[in-house]
Amino acid sequence: MFLERFYPDNEAGSIDSIDFQGLYRSGMRAVIFDIDNTLVPHGAPADPHAIAFFQGLRAMGFKTMLLSNNKEPRVKSFAQDVGSPYLFRAGKPKAAGYRRAMEEMGSSPADTVFVGDQLFTDIWGAKKAGIVTYLVRPIHPREEIQIVLKRRLEAIVLFFYHRSRK
pLDDT confidence of residue 2? 82
Mean pLDDT estimate for the chain: 93
118-153, pLDDT tens digit by residue?
Answer: 999 999 999 999 999 999 998 876 666 667 677 778
CA atoms within 13 A on the CB side of 3: 12
Contact 75, 44 (CB under 8 A): no
All domains of the chain, ordered by start, with CATH?
A: 2-164 (3.40.50.1000)
- Average of per-residue pLDDT across 106-125: 96
State the DSSP code for 117.
S
User: Where in 36-78 does DSSP place strands (E)?
Assistant: 63-67
pTM: 0.91
Going 157 to 134 to 74 to 107, the CA torsion angle's sign is negative
Better pLDDT: 135 or 4: 135
Instruction: Residue 62: name the closest of 37, 39, 85, 35 by CA.
Output: 85
Beta bridge partner(s), residue 134: 10, 115
pLDDT(99) > 70: yes
Q: Which contiguous run of DSSP H or E holds residue 157? A: helix 145-164
